[in-house]
Amino acid sequence: MKKLLVLLLLLTLVVSIAGCAPKEEVTGDIETETPVEEVVNNTPLVVGYSAFSEKFSPFFASTAYDIDASTLTQVNLLKTDRSGGIIYNSIEGETVAYNGVDYFYNGISDIKVDYDETSDITTYNIKIRDDVKFSDGETVDADDIIFSYYVLSDPTYTGSSTLYSYDILGMTNYRMNNSMAEVLSVSAEELAAELDNPGEDSQAFIEGFVSDVLVSELDWVKSLYGDDGWASYTEMHPIPKDLYAMFYNLDENYDSYTVEDETQVLNDILAQYGSDWKMLSVNYGGSESYFQPDIEGGVGEILLSNKLASSEGLEVPAIEGIKKLSQTEVEVKVRGFEAPAVYSICGIDVAPMHYYGDATMYDYDNNMFGFTRGDLSIVESKTSQPMGAGPYKFIKYEDKIVYYEANENYYKGEPETKYLQLKETTDGEMIAGVGTGEIDIANPSGSVAKFEELKAFNSNNETVGDVITASSVNNLGYGYIGINAVNVNVAGDISSEASKNLRKAFATIYAVYRDVSIDSYYGDAAMVINYPISNTSWAAPQKADAGYEIAFSKDVDGNPIYTSDMIADDKYAAALEAAKGFFIAAGYTFDETTGMFTAAPEGASLEYEVIVPGDGTGEHPAFAMLTDSREALAKLGITLTINDPSDTNVLWDSIDSNTHVMWTAAWGSTLDPDMYQVYHSSNGIGLGGTDSNSYNIADPELDKLIMDARQSSDQSFRKATYKQALDIILDWGVEVPNYQRQNLVIFSTERVNMSTVTPDITTYWVWMNDIELIKMN
């Protein structure tokens, strides 16, 4: 989830940059008589950045920062303009007006999308230039596109691309390696019967699944020792086997303290569970349905595999819907039409097959695609050393710095600045880094204090001056507070009204304190939002739209909580009373004498934790809101524990393991407002899906709306449909939309030639788009 909490999904449209570190001059072997001007040109452009994970791969980069580090070395098939519109004819280029100014855009491909209603097939035709070269001089051609598609389609692919989720002709057949895979299916009745009375293969799968989880959980328990966040548990149970037994023992008469051997304790607990995946679901995820998607998916695959084995299906060596038409042209055919598909199908980086794969293993006519099918180890081996046809060549990653050199073969011309560095740093050091000459470009958060710090460096005390030049645009993303439905519910039923009321009790309190918190932190650099979608999206509800409401502004009976004449303190009191109503409706026991709750219903608690990644210092836009909420909830007898770890990985790790309860973070968005990855039940991290739906919301109506919207090209229909989906998300109480901030990009006026920086920076057109033109002073 750490990959998705910072980024979405396929196109890196917002470059998150931050930082400072000692500036390092790269001079190389320069003769003493070299003109001074040439020496200056060898000074690197230094960009501050957040920490990297060293996955600099066009296939496997996961965080926004790693993706940016990779993108500098790559070219993408898809070109977009300053408004986010697609440039379909980018080989010759197109001129598009923005803000009264005409801008010319060109790229490496022409893209044509044709939907045939008769056959219900959408055809994507991609034609590329014949003069684009990779940084090693090799020409980019259709074989590199085909190779890239097959990597993303391989059944063992584990990156963030969802190309394979689209109904490309033959995709399922290829991934299952059977020509009948797209014809045969397993019915709900067949699956239910198999789960009630598992066959030998299904039984073995279920037992293996339960065993794997329990074994991995023992390793997880061991990792808790030395973690301050778990100190109360580890101190109570100094030996891991005993803490493990506390979590997973089913036998009330079993005493792990009398068993010396850790392996024996593990075997004893494995025997207790056997194939009881439902009990494991309860103890692991708080609900019997927690592992249901995993079990149903695995058993379903076994049933389908058995059907395929007895069918007359043939092996499938290639994907029917992906074809090479010439050395410069590729075609992709997809069943039906889905609006976001163009961004996944055409928005890929064209990776060099001869570098990431094995050229001796590529023969398109004989269904050989540059690597062994089902084995991407050759591709994964290059994850930390990217290569492509982008403006810069990767040199090395050393001492938390990514080093680049200009690509002399770049199709737009060799970059004006020969050397580039991305340096890791913290947000708090960014402005000072640019102001004092440590770095040249950064993207600090735009708080009130940060603006004052920035202005102080300029002699005119403005945001644009002689030392720093600042540019701000709405961020393609938004901040939110999340509530995990699997860990915040009543009686293990995540979708019950009681569970929704429990979550809405917290959400109501959080929501009322947003205004003062965001205003004090960001000032004019952010605004409170009321729907879980970035205001930059055309699908975002606007105040003038019918049905627009303030988030969590109605009580448990559906009545407005606030009136127009209420001052802040009145609103806080009203919100507290409304929260009390939600808690009571959730089944909490309220003592009228003390005015506090004294008992929680089954599966719920009087105490909950929220994680806020404020570097252990409270440096986060939601921190004040959470402290105010904590004080308010305490009046009702509800304890809200704020966990502000110095290491943000505490949050990401808790999400990865689905132990997170409540948290605050920010989403990065994409050009298309498709909600599939973040809100569709198939992606619930605690529902057996991928790790992108960290709320674990699972609503059949929401799933249907998401699919209806992505299968339409009618923007008005899609906006109305997404409004219904957003209302369902809010009704579940799993997400409190918090703020829409602006991106503050700052440049060193003294060292960067500002006349060479791309003009009219927007949400969709960041400074890096024309990086090859940037010159140093």
718 in a structural domain: yes
- What phi, psi does 400 have (nearest 5°)? 65, 30
Structure letter (DSSP) for residue 533: S
Residues 694-729: tens digit of each pLDDT = 899 999 999 999 999 988 878 789 999 999 999 999
252 in a structural domain: yes
Three-state SS sequence of 358-426: CHHHEEHHHCEECCCCCCCHHHHCCCCCCCCCCCEEEEEEECCEEEEEECCCCCCCCCCCCEEEEEECC
Check if the beta carbon of residue 333 is closer than 8 Å to that of residue 123. yes
Residues 242 and 103 both lie in one domain? no
Residues 6+ apart with CB under 8 A from 37: none
* For residue 21, pLDDT beyond 70: no
pLDDT band at 37 (very low <50, low <70, confident <90, very high): very low
Check if the beta carbon of residue 352 is closer than 8 Å to that of residue 138. yes
pLDDT band at 73 (very low <50, low <70, confident <90, very high): very high
Identify the CA nearest to 322 among candidates 166, 92, 549, 202. Answer: 166
pTM over 0.85: no
Residues 240 and 341 both lie in one domain? no
Residues 196 and 142 both lie in one domain? no
**Percent of the chain surpassing pLDDT 90:** 68
CA 520 to chain centre: 28
Residues 694 and 579 both lie in one domain? yes
Give the integer Cα–Cα distance in Å for 743 and 15: 9
Residue, of 568 and 32, whose pLDDT is higher: 568
Residues 628 and 683 both lie in one domain? yes
Q: Which residues of 413-424 are buried (b: 16+ CB within 10 A; e: fewer)?
A: eebbbbbbbbbb
Residue, of 209 and 283, whose pLDDT is higher: 209
Residues 668 and 541 both lie in one domain? yes
Residues 103-151: tens digit of each pLDDT = 999 999 999 999 999 999 999 999 999 999 999 999 999 999 999 999 9
C-alpha dihedral sign at 445, 385, 130, 391: positive
Residues 740-765: tens digit of each pLDDT = 988 889 999 999 999 999 999 988 89
- Among 261, 287, 310, the domain-final residue is 310
Residues 305 and 350 both lie in one domain? no
- Among 363, 396, 429, the domain-final residue is 396
Residues 56 and 90 both lie in one domain? yes
Residue keyed to tokens 């590199």: 144
HSE value, Cβ hemisphere, 13 Å, CA-based, for 561: 29
pLDDT band at 684 (very low <50, low <70, confident <90, very high): low
Distances 366 to 151, 168, 317, 363, 404 between C-alpha atoms, Å: 17, 21, 9, 5, 38
pLDDT score recorded for residue 623:
96
Give the integer Cα–Cα distance in Å for 508 and 74: 45
pLDDT band at 655 (very low <50, low <70, confident <90, very high): confident
746 in a structural domain: no
Name the token pair of 520.
Answer: 């004090």
Owning domain of residue 484: 479-741
Residues 210 and 169 both lie in one domain? no
Residues 85-103: tens digit of each pLDDT = 899 999 999 999 988 899 9
Residue, of 669 and 499, whose pLDDT is higher: 499
C-alpha dihedral sign at 680, 686, 689, 695: positive
Total length of the chain? 777
CB neighbourhood size of 597 (10 A)? 20
Residues 171 and 242 both lie in one domain? no
CATH number of the domain bearing residue 165:
3.90.76.10
Residues 161 and 259 both lie in one domain? no
* For residue 11, pLDDT beyond 90: no
- Structural domains counted in the chain: 3
Check if the beta carbon of residue 474 is closer than 8 Å to that of residue 440. no
Residues 689 and 713 both lie in one domain? yes
